């Protein structure tokens, strides 16, 4: 059991660090207030948002609750619809150069500025 728990923790850390490493080494800070579980077109997703301290862009991560691969368009539509009324006080601008996804396409990240 102990090995199982250690394995899970290591996998979670590797998953987070792989997206972070692809993010030019910027340290992402979780915005806990924006964590949510939501449904889009009948599929449950988990959304989190991150920022780099003292910088503007939001980094939004999305993954399916069932850990199945997600489509890029679903990541964009679901994330923007959720964050727009919560985090933006000016018009939202997509930053596609910040978009990333995990190797197995089970977690996607998009960049926005607002």
Query: For the segment 26-71, what is each residue's pLDDT rounded down to a tens digit?
Result: 788 999 998 999 888 888 999 999 988 888 888 999 999 999 998 8
Query: For the segment 17-26, what is each residue's pLDDT rounded down to a tens digit?
Result: 445 434 556 7
Considering its fold, how many domains does the chain have in total? 1
pTM comes to 0.70
Q: Specify the DSSP element, H or E, that contains 79.
A: helix 72-87
> What percent of the chain is modeled with pLDDT above 70?
77
Burial of 5 from C-beta contacts in 10 A (0-12 / 13-18 / 19+): exposed
Supply φ then ψ for residue 111, to 5 degrees.
-110, 140
List the domain range (segments joined by +) for residue 64.
2-113
């Amino acid at each position: 059991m102990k090995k199982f728990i250690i394995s899970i923790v290591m996998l979670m850390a590797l998953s987070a660090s792989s997206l972070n490493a692809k993010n030019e080494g910027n340290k992402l800070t979780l915005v806990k207030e924006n964590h949510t579980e939501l449904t889009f077109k009948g599929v449950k997703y988990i959304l989190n948002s991150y920022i780099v301290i003292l910088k503007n862009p939001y980094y939004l991560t999305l993954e399916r609750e069932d850990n199945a691969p997600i489509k890029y368009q679903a990541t964009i539509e679901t994330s923007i619809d959720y964050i727009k009324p919560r985090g933006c006080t000016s018009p939202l601008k997509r930053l596609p150069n910040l978009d990333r996804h995990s190797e197995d396409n089970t977690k996607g990240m998009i960049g926005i500025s607002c």
